Structure 1
């Protein structure tokens, strides 16, 4: 992965955005990585995983009903076990 400074970004925005079309690039500030610049396609690939992908992350608003129901059922079981004194 290529790396550029924030000063480079100000001076060479065209070169850096062209590099980011091909692969994500790191933008550093005071010699520390601070940002990643990538194409929209690469970003969407990270954030819009297929629905059947078990590694998919959801926000609370997006959580499918069957997953929410399962989480609530587990919470109920945990709470009942805690009331009964079970670990």
Structure 2
């Protein structure tokens, strides 16, 4: 998973404009007690995420084993169909 820029929860009041400027460029993590707790993003980014909520993206190395097996099975089936 991509590392998000982080802001402390206190920055919501102290550095609001900087936080909003960063959130326009990419989602930012809001931390509490040094742990990411919330994500702030632009409305456009949220709407894109909401539209594609059923889609998932994985690096092959990080893909869960069951999804990797399904993907390989589907690719092999497609290759067999193209070669037939």
| Number of residue pairs matched by the alignment | 52
**Structure showing greater Rg:** 1
Runs of 4+ in structure 1 deviating by more than 2 angstroms, as ranges, are none
| Alignment partner, residue 43 of structure 1 | 46
Deviation at 1:48, TM superposition (A): 1.5
State yes or no: 1:27 paired with 2:34.
no
- TM-score computed with the length of structure 2 as normaliser: 0.56
- TM-score computed with the length of structure 1 as normaliser: 0.55
Query: 5+ residue gaps in structure 1?
Result: 57-87
Pairwise CA RMSD = 1.7
Query: 5+ residue gaps in structure 2?
Result: 57-84
